[in-house]
Amino acid sequence: MTDQDHRAKGVDHAAFPTFDPAGTVRFYRDVLGFPVVHSICAAGWGPENHPDFIHFFFDIGNDDRIAFFYYFGAKPYSDSDRGDAYASFGPEVPEYFIRSRHLAIHVDNYEDLMEYRRRLDDSQWPVEMQIQHETIESIYTHDPNGYMIEFTMALRPVTPQEDLDATLTIDALLDVVAEPDPTFGKLLARKAELIVQRAADWELAQAETAQP
């Protein structure tokens, strides 16, 4: 639990390096239709080996932004085809792990999700997967830099009990990882104890809050 007030206002920007600024602009501006909203042209300064660079930003909605660094003269640091412009991986790293990191952009409804699907499918970066998850539906592709990009919509609003469930999951997880050899089975056992301790009181408190 936290009783600190929550002052943050979403993502200002998330920044990634690119070796392919032309492809990046085509993908985000021309294919997806994300406006360019800011850029910085900077002569290298600070560390001696810092190259001159362009830092450029696209609006991803909600006044949030995705940003890229293009460094003049820099070449990809790896020729591996497993990974992205930022990091590459050897054969010992499993695919599920490489595919874990991604940016998900929210849309309000299925019509908007399908509009982005259409824009991507008409481009050289077509949708690779469309998946109905537990309570969201998503499309996925990789941008020209190899970064996985998801567009996602909620299938229904999140219910209050899901917030309780998330709280109990995290409390159980912290208990289980504090002990040796954490497993999913141990987490479910600990969570069952927390449900018995706290779920009934939570529901009573919800009912009291709801009273006029």
Partner 1 sequence: MTALYVLDVPENTPLAKVAAEDPEVSVGRIGPYFEITATGPIVIDRRATGCRHAVWYSSVAGVAPGSRIVQHDKNALRVEPVTEPA
CA 172, chain centre distance (Å): 24
Name residues whose C-beta falls within 8 Å of residue 169's C-beta, 6 or more positions apart in sequence: 187, 191
**Cβ 62 to partner 1 shortest distance, Å:** 26
Contact assessment for residue 102 and residue 150, using Cβ atoms and an 8 Å cutoff: yes
Structure tokens given for 5: 């007030």
Name residues whose C-beta falls within 8 Å of residue 53's C-beta, 6 or more positions apart in sequence: 42, 44, 69, 70, 71, 72
Residues 10-69 touching partner 1, rule: CB under 8 A, are none
In the complex with partner 1, which residue's Cβ is closer, 104 or 192?
Answer: 192
SS3 state of residue 155:
coil
Q: Out of 26, 82, 142, 198, point to the residue binding partner 1 (CB under 8 A).
A: 198
- Confirm or reject binding of residue 199 to partner 1 (CB under 8 A): yes
In the complex with partner 1, which residue's Cβ is closer, 22 or 166?
Answer: 166
Query: What is the C-alpha to C-alpha distance for residues 18 and 76, in angstroms, rounded to an integer?
Result: 9
In the complex with partner 1, which residue's Cβ is closer, 49 or 100?
Answer: 100
Q: Out of 25, 34, 53, 191, point to the residue binding partner 1 (CB under 8 A).
A: 191
- Confirm or reject binding of residue 164 to partner 1 (CB under 8 A): yes
Residues that bind partner 1 (CB under 8 A): 131-135, 156, 159-162, 164-165, 168, 185, 188-189, 191-196, 198-203
